[in-house]
């Protein structure tokens, strides 16, 4: 047996031993890998939960602002006229309850701490509720809006307390309370996770402790299934801070993420534990073993070939290294290019797969720079070919700590990438190694409404601020439509939520068919939608709103017999901020509802 063959067999044996060792290690470390996956998932769940709280506070603070400034309301609060206040607020309370049945509290408070009116129990008022409620005491003291979770008789609710002023004088507060189950149901809808609600034993407030005898550490729950008790016990073991973790039970891995419920003082008064089965199972182990076998064979072939090549052609060592690097880069799923800023010098296989070219020669016949494909978005968040009079590659190096994003399309489908660049000096010439990582799915989760696939409220807020800035700078007109489906609760009650969801999607289709590509549509919440019309005055916006109203009325929403909508229209005024514009258009929508619905008010 020749020396070369013995050396090649030795390399193959070493590769097999190392590969086998790593495979067994990976199998035994599968629980650790599941924990790492859970940590990434935990961050996404917490971001989703934080966004829910922010949206809820934003939504009800606007509703409170609209109600307080309705005619006669502040005067009734000042006079503590319970009956007048009830008569003035009941229509809006009824509408809010129709929009969200989980709204369990709408209550007016006097500045001295006494309750003026509980909309849900109008016969009970005049008690010193502030003496039992720290959040109310703080609002009466600071005269500032507060939000957070606070205890009640049967549990805790998310509360938004908005101060009421007459001129500069503080006269009381308006409180909304949303049942915690509202958030649990949304978490299950968006993450498919089961949830367990617990309350801190020292902060039960008015809750009946008979319902909270069992729990985990300092936290108590009122109800839990038998199959979850052992899982909760394992989660609580050596986990006093209740950190996210993966629990193995009955040969399954469960990812448990805590979502802490904070009161207005930022104390943890409760926690929602989300439970998700993340078991990889037998199939996953088979994939690991098969992948390891395949990788071992590839490594043996590669090392065998490398040794053969070096042994016979030592003087071509540099060419071999270059080929090896190309192989690694071509196996990378992210797009990797080398460029001088204008011309692409090298690209990996992922580049050709995305753009549909066979090689750089055919690409260069039509393009020189990948920046030819850079697209602008609705705001300035995406990279352009030139930024601040610099080439895009220079801009990347000049601002290394900013997250840079690029939008590119292929066959009509847009993709979003994060961009990272490293500079190198090659024969006294600057080269940039640039990696484009596809984050389209993550970007859609962050910016699009899951059901209707149009912008969500978070993305619309960003666009609104951007276009207000542009309108201020260039003195452009801009208008906004706020659209609400009339009696949508009846649709859900009569036909079910699945049909209701289809109605929402069909409505979006109708609205998209009646607006320009430059107009921005978003789901505002529930059955409400908002449309921003850049460079459009009130007259044009009103005509468009009337056209959309008629189009919705004429559309077939089968099996629902008839769908109509109410639309408020407002034109942006110079110097007006986003909250002020949204408040005005919300008032217009409310007037449209009061006028009998299926109409436009501008």
Handedness of CA 16, 19, 23, 29 (dihedral sign): positive
- Closest among 149, 140, 272, 283 to 203, alpha carbons compared: 149
Q: Which residues contact 317 (CB under 8 A, 6 or more apart)?
A: 310
Reported as type and span, the H/E element at residue 331 is: none
- Closest among 543, 553, 537, 554 to 597, alpha carbons compared: 553
CB atoms within 10 A of CB 129: 20
Torsion from C-alpha of 527, 487, 189, 464, nearest 10 degrees: 10
What is the bridge-based pairing of β-strands 528-534 and 600-601? unpaired
Distance (Å, whole) CA 323 – CA 222:
64
DSSP conformational letter for 573: P
On the 0-12 / 13-18 / 19+ scale of CB atoms within 10 A, 390 is: middle
Q: Which residues contact 42 (CB under 8 A, 6 or more apart)?
A: 244, 255, 257
For 159-165, which contacts have Cβ atoms below 8 Å and span 24 or more sequence positions?
159/105, 159/135, 160/56, 160/57, 160/60, 160/61, 160/64, 161/109, 161/135, 161/136, 161/264, 162/61, 162/64, 162/65, 162/68, 163/139, 164/68, 164/74, 164/77
Phi and psi at 111, nearest 5°, equal: -65, -20
CB atoms within 10 A of CB 454: 20
**Token pair 């629980």 is at which residue?**
31
3-class DSSP state for residue 384? coil
Q: Which residues contact 463 (CB under 8 A, 6 or more apart)?
A: 378, 379, 455, 520, 522, 532
3-class DSSP state for residue 501? helix
Given a contact cutoff of 8 angstroms between Cβ atoms, the answer to whether 221 and 196 are in contact is: yes
Residue among 255, 378, 527, 528 flagged as catalytic: 527
Neighbour order of strands in the sheet with 252-262: 214-216, 219-221, 194-200, 268-277, 252-262, 245-249
Helix 82-99 vs helix 30-68: angle between axes, to the nearest 10 degrees? 140
**Token pair 């070919």 is at which residue?**
385
Distance (Å, whole) CA 511 – CA 407:
25
472 is catalytic: no
Catalytic residues: 527
């Amino acid at each position: 047996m020749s020396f070369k063959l013995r050396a090649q067999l030795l390399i193959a044996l070493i590769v097999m031993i190392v590969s086998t060792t790593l495979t067994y290690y990976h199998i035994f470390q599968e629980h650790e890998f599941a924990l790492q996956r859970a940590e990434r998932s935990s961050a996404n769940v917490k971001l989703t939960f934080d966004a829910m709280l922010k949206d809820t506070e934003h939504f009800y603070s606007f509703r409170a602002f609209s109600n307080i400034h309705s005619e006669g309301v502040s005067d009734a609060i000042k006079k503590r006229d319970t009956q007048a206040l009830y008569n003035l607020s009941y229509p809006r309370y009824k509408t809010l309850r129709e929009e969200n049945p989980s709204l369990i509290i709408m209550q007016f408070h006097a500045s001295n701490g006494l309750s003026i009116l509980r909309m849900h129990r109008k016969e009970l008022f005049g008690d010193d509720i502030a003496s039992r409620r720290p959040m109310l005491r703080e609002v009466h003291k600071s005269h500032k809006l507060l939000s957070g979770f606070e205890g009640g008789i049967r549990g805790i609710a998310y509360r938004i307390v908005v101060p009421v002023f007459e001129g500069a004088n503080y006269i009381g507060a308006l409180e909304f309370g949303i049942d915690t189950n509202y958030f649990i149901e949304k978490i299950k809808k968006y993450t498919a996770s089961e949830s367990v609600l617990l309350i801190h034993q020292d902060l039960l407030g008015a809750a009946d402790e008979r319902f909270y005898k069992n729990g985990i550490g300092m936290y108590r729950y009122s109800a839990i299934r038998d199959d979850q008790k052992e899982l909760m016990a394992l989660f609580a073991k050596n986990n006093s801070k209740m950190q996210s973790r993966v629990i193995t039970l009955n040969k399954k891995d469960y990812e448990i993420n805590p979502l802490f419920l904070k009161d207005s003082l930022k104390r943890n008064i409760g926690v929602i534990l989300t439970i998700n089965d993340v078991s990889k199972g037998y199939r996953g182990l088979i994939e690991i073993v098969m992948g390891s076998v395949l990788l071992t064979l590839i490594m043996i072939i590669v090392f065998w070939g490398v040794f053969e090549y070096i042994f016979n052609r030592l003087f071509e060592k540099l060419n071999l290294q270059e080929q090896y690097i190309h192989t690694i880069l071509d196996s990378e799923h992210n797009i990797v290019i080398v460029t001088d800023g204008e011309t692409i010098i090298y690209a990996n296989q992922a580049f050709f797969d995305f753009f549909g070219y066979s090689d750089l020669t055919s690409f260069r016949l039509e393009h020189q720079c990948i920046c030819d494909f850079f697209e602008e978005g609705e705001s300035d968040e995406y990279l352009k070919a030139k930024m601040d009079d610099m080439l895009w590659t220079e801009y990347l190096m000049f601002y290394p700590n900013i997250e840079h994003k690029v939008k590119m399309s292929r066959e009509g489908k847009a993709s979003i990438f994060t961009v990272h660049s490293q500079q190198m000096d090659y024969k006294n010439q600057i080269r940039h190694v640039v990696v484009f990582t596809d984050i389209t799915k993550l970007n859609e989760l962050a910016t699009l409404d899951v059901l209707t696939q149009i912008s969500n409220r978070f993305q619309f807020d960003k666009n609104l601020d951007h276009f207000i800035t542009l309108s201020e700078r260039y003195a452009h007109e801009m208008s906004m439509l706020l659209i609400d489906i009339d009696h949508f609760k009846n649709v859900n009650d009569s036909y079910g939520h699945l049909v209701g969801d289809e109605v929402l999607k069909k409505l979006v289709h109708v609205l998209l068919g009646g607006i320009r590509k430059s107009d921005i549509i978003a789901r505002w919440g529930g059955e409400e939608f908002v449309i921003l019309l850049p460079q459009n005055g009130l007259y044009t916006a009103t005509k468009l709103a009337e056209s959309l109203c008629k189009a919705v009325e004429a559309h077939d929403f089968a099996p629902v017999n008839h769908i109509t909508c109410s639309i408020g229209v407002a034109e942006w005024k110079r110097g007006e901020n986003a909250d002020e514009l949204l408040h005005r258009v919300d008032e217009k929508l409310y007037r449209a509802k009061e006028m009998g619905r299926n109409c436009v008010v501008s």
